[in-house]
Structure 1
Amino acid sequence: MSVPHSVCVFCGSRNGAKPEYVQSATDLGQQMAKEGWRLVYGAGDVGLMGAVSRAAQDAGGSTFGVIPVHLLAREMAKRDLGSFIITENMHERKKVMFMNSDAIVVLPGGAGSLDEFFEVLTWRQLTLHAKPIYLVDIEGYWQPLLALIEQTINEGFADKSLRDFYVVVDTVDELVAALRADLS
């Protein structure tokens, strides 16, 4: 029996300002279940995290949630997941999520999502892994981040190869097509 692929989704614990963000998280959860990919995420039942996990579960998908003890109440920990792990801190959470995934997806989110993206991007830059990293640029959400990355390259603080360590897609459909290619 083959082990299903696992996709780590980093995303907001809030819904954000545009309904397209929640819709994209919902679409992603449904698509992951359809593809047979396990969702690895932050175990919250709020914001985009809650939307992606509920959609995956409702579609019969497998879920793996990881939450630090200090966020159990704040992020309304979703305990009815296939796997549910409580960590001591945020760093452990990211490590467990990363180690249990084959690819990384970053939907819109706040400071936590940025932290998660930059940590896996830095690990990739340092050749600590070769897992694909995707930024899902719903409604142009990540354009300021992409401009900042270009600024670090243009000002000599990063090599232009940094661009090669992540892929930007505009829609969940584009993401799923890219993941199919990477996970096959």
Structure 2
Amino acid sequence: MMLFPRATGAQFAAATLAMALVVLASNILVQYPLNDWLTWGAFTYPVAFLVSDLANRRYGPDMARHVAWVGFAVAVAASLVLAPTRIAIASGLAFLLSQWLDIGLFHRLRQGLWWRAPLVATVAAACLDTAVFWSIAFAGVNDFPWITWALGDLGVKLAIGVLMLLPFRLLMGRFMAPATSA
């Protein structure tokens, strides 16, 4: 059994605030198409996996799940006010399922090469998130090219997931460094 350090209240608050802001921004930006293949939300949402993967790496899967739960609650509550109900509900369900998958896969793969856990977990979670979100949020809606948006969204999520490996590695080194007393 692995032992993880306990996060301070400020560290937990920072992680949950980051998660909530990413999800809220994504729920708003998904309503604005960039073209027939993509909405602006595709560029922000993959950062949610970075937040949970960093929390998971440093504080373990329990902390990452708590960040996901609180970030989810805050973001869905705000999204119900700022986004259509169908998007808030689809986002909430897709978010929880994909975060659980991301956190579980990351934890199982954490002992391998530094990049394997965040890459595999993010790719799998992005696929699940895309399938759940787009099929609930836009199924039956003929006014939008939602299937092509879903494909474009997935492509961008996967590309950004790969690009997020660099900040993950840089931030991992910073967060994993032992605390020093001043």
Query: Normalising by the residue count of structure 1, what TM-score does the alignment of the two structures yield?
Result: 0.29
Q: Which has the higher helix share?
A: 2
Q: Which has the higher strand share?
A: 1
Larger radius of gyration: 2
Question: Comparing both chains, which one has the higher relative contact order based on Cα–Cα distances under 8 Å and sequence gaps of 6 or more?
Answer: 2
